[in-house]
Structure 1
C-alpha cells in the first residue's frame, strides 16, 4: 500500500499546472488581506509562509523527478542562476541544507515577529529578531566559505519550468499515446474539417497576390545570434561566478553579510532613531565601494550586484527617512485620493500597509 506522501506526489504530477495557478492566486490574495479583519496581517503572512514552504517542497520534488528522467528536455534551458545554485547544491550537501534553511528562515521570519509581538515583551521580541539574524549571518558565511564566491539571493534554484510540461506516468496508459496494434487496409478518409467544402478556389486572386519575399529584411546575424552559445553556456555551472580572490573582495562580502545583524542590534539597543539607519546605510555603501567590478561576461554576478543596489531603495521605508519623509508623503497621497475612482483602492491599500511598516521590522528588511 502506497504512503499518503506518494499519493500526494502523484497528485502533484497529474495536476501540476492547476496547483501552480492556485499557488499564484493565493499569493496574490495575501497582499489584500491586511486590514480586512482582526489579525488579518498575521493570517496573510501565515498563508504566505505556508505557500512559500509548499512551493519549496514542490520545487524539490519536481527537480528530483526531472533528474530521474534523462529523456526530459525542457522547452527553455535553465537560467544561469538555476544552473549555478543547483550545481553547488548537488556538489556539497552543506551548501544545500544551509541554502534551504536560509530560505525557510526568510519565509517564516515575519510570522515569528508577528507572533512574538502578540505574546512576548518588546525586549524579548528584539532578542528573537537578533537571534534570527545571527543564524542567517552564520548560514550566509557558511555558504560563502563553501563556494568562496559572493552569495546569491535566493541561494536555491528557482522554478523555471512549467509543471504542465512534465511527463506523468498516466501518459503511458493514455489511449492517445498508445501505439496502434493493427493498421487499417482502407485508404485514409478525408478529414471532417475538409468535408463538404463547396467554396471554389479563386485562382485569380492567387495570381494577383504577390509572392512572399525571398530574402528577409533582417540580417542573418539576427537569426543566428539567439541560437549561438554564449560564454556562460559552455562554462561549468560552478564557474559562472569567479572566486573571491583578494582581501578586499572578502571584506566586501563579509560587511554585506554582517550589515543586517549590526542594524537590528543597534535597533534593539534603543539608540537614537537616526543612528541605526546611518550605521546600516554606511555599511551598505562601504560594501558597495569595496566590491569588485565583474566583467561583462559574468552576467550572473552583475545581476546579483544590481539586485543589491536596488535593495538600497528600501531605506526610504526605514528610520527617520520613513518617519519624516516617506510616510507623510504616502499619507497625504492616500488622503487626497481616498474618494477618487480607482485611486481609492490604492489609497485604501496604502492606509492598510503604513501601520504594518511602523510596527514590524521584517516588512522592509533585506
Structure 2
C-alpha cells in the first residue's frame, strides 16, 4: 500500500514538472525542434490528399497542429528571452553561450510592439491562429454543411482577420501592417555556439593524450616554436584557401583562409546602416494623411469584399456546379481594390517622404512592398482567372508528367493540389 502511494506521489510530481521540463527542452534545443517542425510540414505538403477519402482533412489537421505547436514554442522562447534579459550581466555571461548576430529590421520592429503592448501581442497571436486554422475550418464546414455553410465560415474568418488587422493598425498609431506581425523563430532562437577557449583546450588535451603532438620537440628552451634546421628532402608545400594546412613539425592544423566573399559578408552583417540607428517604431512611416490611411484600410478590407462577392455569386447560381466559379465580377473587383490600394500608398509616400517609394523607404518598408507585390501575382491562382485560364495549364502539366519515371510523382502532387486550389478558398489566400 505504501509503495502504491509513493508511486502515485512520484507520478503526480512528474506530471506537475512536465510543462517546465518541456519548456527547458524547447529552449535548449530550439534548432532540433525547428527541424522536426519543418519535417512534419514538408510531409503534409506532399500529402494534400485526394486519393483517399477524408485524407485531405487529416493532412490539413496535422499541418494545423504543427503550426499551432510552433506558436506555443515561439511563446516559450520569447519568455526565455525576456527572462534572460532580466539577469545580471555577469550571470548572463556565465550561463549563455549564444552567438547573436545583428537582429533583422522585422525583428526589431515586431519585438518593439510586442514588448510595449500586451494587447498587440494578443491580437497578433489571434491573427496567426486564424491564419493557421482557416483552411481546416473551411474543410470542416464544407464537409458538414456544404457550399453554403463553407462560404459563411469563409466570410466570418475574413471579417475576424480584418478586425484584427484594423486593431493592429490602431495600436501602432496608423502604421502599415507587416507580415508576419510577430517575430520569426530565428529571431527568438539565436544560433548556439561553443566557447572557443574551451574547445581549443579540449582539442589540445586530446591531441596530447593521443601522442600526436610532441610538446618538448615542438617548443624550444625559450618556449617558442623552433623551425627545422633544414628543409632538404621535404616536399614543397603551399597554403590553400580551401583545405586546412597541417604544420609539418608540430602537427598543428591551420584553418582555411577566408575568401573575399566571406569577409565581405561578415563586414556587411556587422556594419551599421541608417535603418539600424533608427528607433524601432520609426522603421515604418506613420500614415499621416487621409489618402495613406484609406489605402491601408482598403488593402485590409479587400479579402472581406472579395469573399462577400464570391458568396453572393455562388448564391445566385445556387451553390451548384462550377459555372459561378468562372464569373469574372468578384475577381475583377478584388484585384482592382488591391492594385488601387498599392498605387494610393505609393502616391502618398511620394507626396510626403523625400525620395518617395524608390529611395525614401526603409529596408523593412521595401520588403513589405515586395511581399504585397507577390501577393498580386497570386491572383493568377484564384477565382475566375484560375478557372478560365490557369486551370488548363495546371491540367496540362499534370498530364504531361504522368507515366514518366520520378516525374510521375510530381504530376500526382500537382493533380492533388489542383483539387485544393479549385475547391477551397483559403488554399490560395495571401492574407
- TM exceeding 0.5: yes
Moved more, 33-42 or 274-283: 33-42
Note the C-alpha offset of 1:106. Answer: 0.1
Q: Is residue 2:243 matched to residue 1:203?
A: no
Note the C-alpha offset of 1:46. Answer: 1.0
Give the structure 2 partner of residue 53 of structure 1.
68
Match of 1:323 among 381, 387, 410: 387
Q: Which structure 2 residue ranges, 5 or more long, are not aligned?
A: 1-12, 86-91, 200-204, 218-226, 242-257, 317-323, 350-355
> In the superposition, relative to structure 1, how do residues 191 and 364 fare at CA in structure 2: closer, same or farther (>3 Å)?
same
Give the structure 2 partner of residue 180 of structure 1.
none
Note the C-alpha offset of 1:162. Answer: 8.2
Give the structure 2 partner of residue 230 of structure 1.
273
- Counterparts of 1:126 and 1:357, CA distance in 2: 15
- Counterparts of 1:212 and 1:83, CA distance in 2: 40
TM-score scaled to structure 1, two decimals? Answer: 0.85
State how 1:153-232 maps to structure 2 within 5 Å: 153-161=179-187, 163=189, 165=191, 190-192=208-210, 194=212, 203-204=231-232, 222=264, 225-232=268-275
Q: Is the 8 A contact 2:339 2:376 kept in 1?
A: no
> In the superposition, relative to structure 1, how do residues 188 and 19 fare at CA in structure 2: closer, same or farther (>3 Å)?
closer
* SS state at 1:152 partner: coil
- Counterparts of 1:57 and 1:348, CA distance in 2: 34
Give the structure 1 partner of residue 88 of structure 2.
none
How many residues are aligned here? 346
Deviation per CA, 1:161-205, whole angstroms, max 9, x where unpaired?
5858469xxx9xxxx99xxxxxxxxx999341515899x978248
State how 1:245-324 maps to structure 2 within 5 Å: 245-270=288-313, 273-291=327-345, 292=349, 293-294=356-357, 295-296=359-360, 298-324=362-388
Give the structure 1 partner of residue 83 of structure 2.
68
Deviation per CA, 1:208-263, whole angstroms, max 9, x where unpaired?
557899xx9969x9575543211121122111111112111111101100100000
Q: Is the 8 A contact 1:17 1:164 kept in 2?
A: no
> In the superposition, relative to structure 1, how do residues 290 and 196 fare at CA in structure 2: closer, same or farther (>3 Å)?
same
Note the C-alpha offset of 1:341. Answer: 2.2
Moved more, 98-107 or 330-339: 330-339
Give the structure 2 partner of residue 112 of structure 1.
137
> In the superposition, relative to structure 1, how do residues 68 and 343 fare at CA in structure 2: closer, same or farther (>3 Å)?
same
> In the superposition, relative to structure 1, how do residues 351 and 66 fare at CA in structure 2: closer, same or farther (>3 Å)?
same
Give the structure 1 partner of residue 253 of structure 2.
none
> In the superposition, relative to structure 1, how do residues 188 and 143 fare at CA in structure 2: closer, same or farther (>3 Å)?
closer
Q: Is the 8 A contact 2:381 2:428 kept in 1?
A: yes
Deviation per CA, 1:62-96, whole angstroms, max 9, x where unpaired?
12112212434543232111111111011112211
Q: Is the 8 A contact 1:143 1:151 kept in 2?
A: yes
Q: Is the 8 A contact 1:318 1:364 kept in 2?
A: yes
Q: Is residue 2:31 matched to residue 1:20?
A: no
Q: Is the 8 A contact 2:46 2:413 kept in 1?
A: yes
Give the structure 2 partner of residue 151 of structure 1.
177
Higher helix share: 2
- Counterparts of 1:116 and 1:41, CA distance in 2: 14
> In the superposition, relative to structure 1, how do residues 193 and 50 fare at CA in structure 2: closer, same or farther (>3 Å)?
farther
- Counterparts of 1:226 and 1:320, CA distance in 2: 45
- Counterparts of 2:396 and 2:269, CA distance in 1: 48
Give the structure 2 partner of residue 41 of structure 1.
56
Note the C-alpha offset of 1:36. Answer: 4.5
Bigger radius of gyration: 2
Note the C-alpha offset of 1:122. Answer: 2.0
- Counterparts of 1:290 and 1:164, CA distance in 2: 39
TM-score scaled to structure 2, two decimals? Answer: 0.73
